Structure 1
Amino acid sequence: MSEDRKSRVMTTDAGRPVGDNQNSLTLGPRGPVVFEDFLLFEKMAHFNRERIPERVVHAKGSGAYGTFTVTNPEMARYTTAKLFDTVGKQTPTFIRFSTVGGEKGSADTERDPRGFALKFYTEEGNWDMVGNNTPVFFIRDPLKFGDFIHTQKRDPETNLKSPTMMWDFWSLSPESLHQVTILFSDRGTPDGFRHMDGFSSHTFSMINAKGELFYCKWHFKTKQGIKNFTREEADHMKSVDMDHAQNDLFHSIKRGEFPKWAVKVQIMPEAEAETYHINPFDLTKVWPHGDYPLIEVGELELNRNPVNYFAEVEQAAFEPRNVVPGMGFSPDKMLQGRLISYPDAHRYRLGVNYDSLPVNAPKCPFATYNRDGSMRFDGNGGNGPNYEPNSFGGPTQDPKYVERQVTYNSSTVGRFSHREHDGDYFTQPGNLFRLMTPDAQERLCGNIAAGLGQVEKRIQDLQINHFYKCDPKYGEGVAKAIGRKIEEIIKADELVGA
């Protein structure tokens, strides 16, 4: 950019001045992010496309397969999710551990948070629990995510890690203090992945059969015991084994020493979230265990190594939007941003069909209308319809799976029927038809007939009845243009309605 075009005022890519680059646009101070936040989506979309082919964050990681086994018979009190419905029930899982800021070739012993991402292959679809080894994070608003990660990467001038960038950002972002304290404590450099805990960090929700909603935070407590490096030990390990955590995880599983975690959850009834003295959706805060104790849910065991690292670990794609019936989200702003950012990053890094790759695909029956795109390697839906609604037997919605409505700040978030409060589809098209001259009306009917005349009569009947309700002459004109009598069509519609 030439010097005369530079602006001291931050702008969007299109040059619009930015008035607030600190806070996402939300429904009230604790409410969810709204789609009209053009700045948030521009920043997230641009950030997700900054580097190829490795992940923008969590570039270096290790993966393993395992099983989750239910131990708590009381989970039905909180959720209808079927993976919890029976004590002893097992669900296959895949996990990816990672460092956050380093590149693929970086050391496993850097002082850095560790990613803790799990994919549960349930009978109702995939549940992805995409967390870290810390219960909090550095920021509470997704608008600042790209800015923060830039400080953890390399200086644009020197291409070196920069303590100045890191501490400059942290010193101007006091909400980071909780996570900074954890990062620079003993837990900032875990001794491998087996000896650390995992957390959802974000607040999610669960819904039971009565429609009651409970907010929750997930905890994975290592059964191997917490084990960390000192700063000196971590620095030494870099010179001995840059891949210490990968080495330790892979070979422990190969030896049959299967690592395990106790899976626990904190649960907060929906009503209590409105008055709790801490914002329960703030990613920089924990819920004190004295107020919301850990409830044991089950056990996670890792018992099988991947056969091909690239296919199964590098191409693994986790996204917090993947929840199953009986689970939901919360107005956690950082979570709301990740719901959009993660699948967007996967589409860019792996391609639009990333979720059809074997490691990412559900193990239960599934059916969508998504078609085409690069690297489509399955049957692409065959000769079935690629639109909905359709009358050719394609998969259809099931109202029992509609998300439970949630109220934030006196406003309700839900899937509201766009047909429920306004069923007048006919007045304005009829008015437009009546404004046309007779010859224009005739041409309109002829244009419609050129296509409608080629389809099955049952579809013609439905559509011509719509035209007839706009204006009888409109329906009659189209019927005549395709060589049919309007009386037969109207009668057919009445019979269908009966």
Structure 2
Amino acid sequence: MSTDDKSKLTTSWGAPVGDNQNSQTAGARGPTLIQDVHLLEKLAHFNRERVPERVVHAKGAGAHGYFEVTQDLTAFTKASFLSEVGKQTPLFVRFSTVAGENGSSDTVRDPRGFAVKFYTDEGNYDLVGNNTPVFFIRDAIKFPDFIHTQKRHPQTHLKNPNAVWDFWSLSPESLHQVTILMSDRGIPATLRHMHGFGSHTFKWVNAEGQASWVKYHFKTEQGVQNLAPSVAAQLAADNPDYHTEDLFEAIKKGDFPAWKLCVQIMPLEDANTYRFDPFDVTKVWSQKDYPLIELGRMVLNRNPENYFAEVEQATFSPGTFVPGIEASPDKMLQGRLFAYGDAHRYRVGANHQALPINRPRSEVNTYQRDGQMRADDNGGGSVYYEPNSAGGPSETPAYKPAAFEVSGSADSVVYDHHDHYTQPGDLYRLLSEDERERLVQTIVGAMKPVEQDAIKLRQIGHFYKADPEYGTRVAAGLGLSIPE
């Protein structure tokens, strides 16, 4: 094979890849196309890279609780579990770290998964987010590559700072999340003392079929508290399960953690004129433009009886919707709609939804049969296809998702907005001087092991574009000059 051949990225069947940065969509804002076989192959193969541990979010803790509606927002959504003030819905929450293995420490610097399963009267609704409002990338086609950088080097089996910063420096859209991760909020004091976010933009539809865009914010009632790196490191050595233990013990003694759930609501037409692309998960919506509106309150009041049966076998997918809540054109979300369900079918089995922790509290009527771990009567002798003349369950047109218009060429399309620096710069300028100093120290400590100065300088350039002081201080800490 020639050197030129080795330089070409290909699919697993050897075909050259034309675009590995942007998935194919129906127009710039259209949904992701299933014909993008390169995207599907990457996501499907990625889900099968670890057996049987979760590829991401392997280390987690969970608890049962309830959600109570505190404000009537039926003008925006027909979701039944949000239909009246005072209505309560049982739920299960799983918190997790993202990058580490199942035996890793709870107190590492890492985003935390914040996944909520609402057992509603119209089926399960999963809100699968993080403790940050943004993410490192904005297109699912880059997700397997990103997570590879967070895992271990294939030769040394050690964490690889060169890969981490090389990828980030070549993906400037990551700067916002990198700044949050390296700030004080990168290591929560406990799972109870952090906010949660749906992160993506979703679509709400009301009873009249009118739609709005929405973002979710879980605000901790315990207050935000974080760990100093020295304390986190000591806990990692002394009690690597510190967060898991803290959550269990708090609930056991009746100190039930709670979060207020608020939403930002954007009129549908504003998506075409807002100064940032509202579907770009590396960006936030200004709360001055779209203020937080209280929706309800989440309380965790019961520990699992068996960790494996409940926490480990719990499966969450952002594609688990109920009527009144739908997807947006967010490219990262569009990829997750496939990837999460596919991961569960591989890791837990085709019938993962029938396990007690995942089973809906409402009636389930499908024509799905057989498969591994089928524990019920498998539909008995009832009709097993549709349409049929035997009076089996059939579709209800009133529950069809709301239609939306798409246009444009089928192509691998990058997001229109390329401003990766304004929001990270704004965040940096919001920090106190003490917080800025700790942020810079953390970044400098994380970047020092990187072997190539070219990677460091490329990343310093991103910090500088966000805020000249930000870049200058990081450069000084690394003993480097600001690149021209």
- The TM-score normalised by the length of structure 2 is 0.83
> SS state of the match for residue 97, structure 1?
strand
What CA distance in whole angstroms lies between the structure 1 residues aligned with 2:313 and 2:405? 37
Q: Corresponding residue for 2:389?
A: 391
Correspondent of 2:104 among 100, 106, 109: 106
- Equivalence map 1:24-63=2 (5 Å): 24-63=23-62
CA displacement, residues 423-460 of structure 1 (integer Å, 9 cap, x when unaligned): xxxxxxxxxxxxxxxxxxxxxxxxxxxxxxxxxxxxxx
- 1:212 shift after superposition: 0.7
Correspondent of 2:181 among 183, 202, 206: 183
- 1:396 shift after superposition: 0.8
How many pairs are equivalent? Answer: 409
Q: Corresponding residue for 1:418?
A: none
What CA distance in whole angstroms lies between the structure 1 residues aligned with 2:284 and 2:10? 35
Q: Corresponding residue for 1:344?
A: 342
Correspondent of 1:361 among 359, 373, 376: 359
What CA distance in whole angstroms lies between the structure 1 residues aligned with 2:83 and 2:330? 27
What CA distance in whole angstroms lies between the structure 2 residues aligned with 1:99 and 1:242? 12
Q: Corresponding residue for 1:64?
A: 63
- 1:5 shift after superposition: 11
> SS state of the match for residue 77, structure 1?
coil
> SS state of the match for residue 66, structure 1?
strand
Identity of aligned residues (%): 59
- The TM-score normalised by the length of structure 1 is 0.81
Relative to 1, partners in 2 of residues 1:291 and 1:5: Cα closer, same or farther, differing over 3 Å?
A: closer
- 1:157 shift after superposition: 1.1
- 1:4 shift after superposition: 9.4
> SS state of the match for residue 311, structure 2?
helix
- Equivalence map 1:62-141=2 (5 Å): 62-73=61-72, 75-141=73-139
> SS state of the match for residue 46, structure 2?
helix
Q: Which runs of 4+ in 1 moved over 4 A?
A: 2-6
- 1:375 shift after superposition: 1.0
> SS state of the match for residue 344, structure 2?
helix
What CA distance in whole angstroms lies between the structure 2 residues aligned with 1:45 and 1:323? 21
One-letter identity of the residue aligned with 1:317: T
CA displacement, residues 356-404 of structure 1 (integer Å, 9 cap, x when unaligned): 1111110011100000001111010010111000111211111111111
- 1:276 shift after superposition: 1.2
CA displacement, residues 182-217 of structure 1 (integer Å, 9 cap, x when unaligned): 000000000110000000000001001121100000
Q: Corresponding residue for 2:459?
A: none
What CA distance in whole angstroms lies between the structure 1 residues aligned with 2:347 and 2:127? 20
> SS state of the match for residue 26, structure 1?
strand
What CA distance in whole angstroms lies between the structure 1 residues aligned with 2:299 and 2:209? 32
One-letter identity of the residue aligned with 2:168: W
One-letter identity of the residue aligned with 1:64: A
Q: Corresponding residue for 1:205?
A: 203
> SS state of the match for residue 39, structure 1?
helix
What CA distance in whole angstroms lies between the structure 1 residues aligned with 2:378 and 2:4? 47
Q: Corresponding residue for 1:442?
A: none
What CA distance in whole angstroms lies between the structure 2 residues aligned with 1:326 and 1:278? 25
Pairing 1:171–2:169 present: yes
- 1:54 shift after superposition: 0.7
Where does the alignment leave 5 or more consecutive residues of structure 1 unmatched? 412-498
Relative to 1, partners in 2 of residues 1:284 and 1:395: Cα closer, same or farther, differing over 3 Å?
A: same
One-letter identity of the residue aligned with 1:206: W
Q: Corresponding residue for 1:406?
A: 404
What CA distance in whole angstroms lies between the structure 1 residues aligned with 2:303 and 2:334? 32
Larger radius of gyration: 1
Where does the alignment leave 5 or more consecutive residues of structure 2 unmatched? 410-484
One-letter identity of the residue aligned with 2:87: K
CA displacement, residues 5-27 of structure 1 (integer Å, 9 cap, x when unaligned): 97220100111001111110112
Q: Corresponding residue for 1:252?
A: 250
- 1:230 shift after superposition: 1.2
Correspondent of 1:324 among 322, 325, 329: 322
> SS state of the match for residue 405, structure 2?
strand
What CA distance in whole angstroms lies between the structure 2 residues aligned with 1:5 and 1:309? 51
Q: Corresponding residue for 2:299?
A: 301
What CA distance in whole angstroms lies between the structure 1 residues aligned with 2:312 and 2:4? 41
> Are 2:27 and 2:408, in contact at CA under 8 Å, matched by a contact in 1?
no
- 1:28 shift after superposition: 2.2
Q: Corresponding residue for 2:217?
A: 219
> SS state of the match for residue 164, structure 1?
helix
What CA distance in whole angstroms lies between the structure 2 residues aligned with 1:11 and 1:410? 27
Relative to 1, partners in 2 of residues 1:378 and 1:409: Cα closer, same or farther, differing over 3 Å?
A: same
> SS state of the match for residue 116, structure 1?
strand
What CA distance in whole angstroms lies between the structure 2 residues aligned with 1:311 and 1:158? 34
Correspondent of 2:288 among 290, 314, 320: 290
What CA distance in whole angstroms lies between the structure 2 residues aligned with 1:212 and 1:278? 23
What CA distance in whole angstroms lies between the structure 2 residues aligned with 1:313 and 1:408? 39
Q: CA RMSD in A?
A: 1.4
What CA distance in whole angstroms lies between the structure 2 residues aligned with 1:213 and 1:165? 42
- 1:345 shift after superposition: 0.4
Q: Corresponding residue for 2:452?
A: none
- 1:409 shift after superposition: 4.1
One-letter identity of the residue aligned with 1:164: N
> SS state of the match for residue 180, structure 2?
helix
What CA distance in whole angstroms lies between the structure 2 residues aligned with 1:294 and 1:179? 21
One-letter identity of the residue aligned with 1:97: F
